[in-house]
């Protein structure tokens, strides 16, 4: 499928590594002008250097989007975008009875409110021009709540509701809003997470096999998804080809969710 995003500006929150970085790279390869975001200015600059020359132009904006102040700084530098990918998120194992109020709030601020703030700002501008794409990177954990990180699952469930609600707000405008349900994905942070659960001394292939068998036995591919596989879905949803796909929760989960819908 030939996807050309030339002339479109795309913002990917939390895009200095992992899924966000892969999304930024793939959108740039399709011709979009990509804005990379992260909290650390050095990491943002390094990502921009690494992805420069990929295809479309690329720039970076360092801002902590988990705060209203950080979002306001971003809006000052980037008033308008055509494609918004709400990717920013944190995760980590914690017994549910040990999660205190501050931790619940932190996960909600980072994983949910960051995307709410960005969408609330950019969506009206998209509807005014009659075209736009908004995506929330959700997770299989939104549906199959993992017992080792209920707080993370809660935030991803919230994203399904938020994305559906914003899709209704954009009804009939030419703007689409969707959630992408990412399955267990091979990123830097995930390797650390797996090591915590199955042992830090195991080679990656063995650690991955044990983690899937013990903690994600429902996966039909029995391996971690590569970030580029998630990014390919995001690029499609960002294109003209996906003009009739909105209000959805699209799965790139390796068959992990044991159900037909979503």
pLDDT per residue over 89-132, tens digit each?
999 989 999 999 999 999 999 999 999 999 999 999 999 999 99
Taking residues 65-85, report their average pLDDT: 98
In a domain, 45, yes or no: yes
Query: Is residue 192, in this structure, part of any structural domain at all?
Result: no
Span 198-220, mean pLDDT?
92
- Mean pLDDT of the region 200-206: 91
DSSP labels, 133-179? EEEEEEEGGGTS--TT-HHHHHHHHHHHHHHHHHHHHTTTTTEEEEE
Residue 40's pLDDT band, with cuts at 50, 70 and 90, is very high
Q: pLDDT at position 225, please?
A: 97
Question: Are the C-beta atoms of 137 and 160 separated by less than 8 Å?
Answer: no
pLDDT on residue 261: 77
Check which CATH number belongs to the domain holding 179 and give it: 3.40.50.720
Residue 39 domain-assigned (yes or no):
yes
Terminal Cα-to-Cα distance of the chain (whole angstroms): 24
**Which percentage of the chain shows pLDDT scores above 70?**
100
> Considering the domain boundaries, does residue 84 fall inside one?
yes
The mean of the pLDDT values for the chain is: 95
- Does 22 reside within a domain? yes
pLDDT of the residue at 262: 66
DSSP assignment, residue 96? G
Query: How much of the chain exceeds pLDDT 90, in percent?
Result: 88
3-class SS at 24? helix
Residue 216 in any domain: the answer is no
Q: How far apart are CA 91 and CA 237, in angstroms?
A: 25
Domain of 22 in residue numbering reads as 9-185+225-252
CA angle 109, 190, 35 (to 5 degrees): 55
Average pLDDT, stretch 247-261? Answer: 93
The residue with tokens 């005014």 is: 128
Q: Give the pLDDT of residue 196.
A: 87
Tell me, yes or no, whether 211 lies in a domain. Answer: no
- The one catalytic residue in 107, 122, 152, 256 is 152
- Nearest CA-CA partner of 153 in 142, 163, 137, 161: 142
* Measured distance CA(57)–CA(28) in Å, rounded: 7
Report helix, strand or coil for 30. coil
Q: What number is the average pLDDT over the span 3-32?
A: 97
**Angle CA 162–166–167, to nearest 5:** 115
pLDDT higher than threshold 80 for residue 87:
yes
Residue 64 lies in a domain: yes
236 in catalytic set: no
Q: What's the domain count of the chain? A: 1
Look up residue 247 and give its DSSP letter.
S
């Amino acid at each position: 499928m030939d996807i050309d995003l030339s002339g479109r500006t795309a913002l990917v929150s939390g895009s200095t590594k992992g899924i966000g970085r892969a999304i930024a790279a793939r959108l740039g390869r399709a011709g979009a002008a990509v804005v990379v975001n992260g909290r650390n200015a050095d990491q943002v600059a390094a990502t921009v250097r690494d992805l420069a020359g990929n295809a479309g132009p690329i720039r970076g904006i360092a801002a902590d989007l988990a705060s209203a102040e950080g979002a306001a700084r971003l809006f000052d530098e980037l008033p308008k975008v055509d494609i918004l990918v709400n990717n920013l998120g944190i995760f980590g194992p914690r017994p549910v009875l040990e999660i205190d109020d501050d931790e619940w709030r932190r996960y909600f601020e980072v994983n949910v409110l960051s995307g709410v703030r960005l969408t609330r700002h950019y969506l009206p501008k998209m509807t005014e021009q009659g075209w736009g794409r908004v995506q929330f990177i959700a997770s299989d954990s939104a549906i199959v709540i993992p017992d080792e990180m209920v707080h993370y699952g809660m935030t991803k469930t919230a994203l399904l509701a938020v994305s559906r609600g914003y899709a209704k707000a954009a009804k009939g405008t030419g703007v689409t809003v969707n959630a992408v349900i990412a399955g267990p994905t091979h990123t830097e942070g995930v390797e650390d997470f797996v090591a915590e659960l199955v042992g830090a001394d195991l080679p990656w292939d063995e650690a991955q096999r044990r983690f899937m068998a013990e903690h994600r036995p429902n996966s039909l591919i029995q391996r971690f998804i590569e970030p580029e596989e998630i990014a390919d879905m995001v690029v499609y949803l960002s294109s003209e080809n996906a003009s009739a796909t909105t209000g959805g929760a699209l799965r790139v989960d390796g068959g992990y969710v044991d159900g037909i819908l979503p």
